[in-house]
Amino acid sequence: MVIAMWSHILAHISTALAHRMGAAEAGQVMCSLQRLAATVQALIVESYLQSFIDILGESTGMKPVLIDRLVMTKIDSVIGAVRAAAA
């Protein structure tokens, strides 16, 4: 929900900037805000992922090293599938 709100916030700010400054200057400001939004969204996702992994470990008794190995195996699998599809 928090991540989804960024789109609405950026759209509102973009509209407000379009009425207050030139297109080039508004574009530069929006570019900076979009980079900020991407950074904040990445931090939110990382926090959610870490919380999920912690809860998974606590509820199943799995050690963090095993969970990390499972995640890396899945990531490698997805990357392999994407590369195969692109070839």
Alpha helices of the chain — where are they, by DSSP H? 2-20, 23-60, 64-86
Q: What is the pTM of this model?
A: 0.68
Quick: pLDDT tens for 9-27: 999 999 999 899 998 999 9
Buried b (16+ CB within 10 A) or exposed e, 39-58: eeeeeeeeeeeeeebeeeee
Quick: pLDDT tens for 42-74: 999 999 989 998 999 999 999 989 999 998 999
Quick: pLDDT tens for 32-47: 999 999 999 999 999 9
- Residue (of 82, 27, 20, 25) closest to 10 by Cα position: 27
Cα within 13 Å of Cα(87), Cβ side: 6
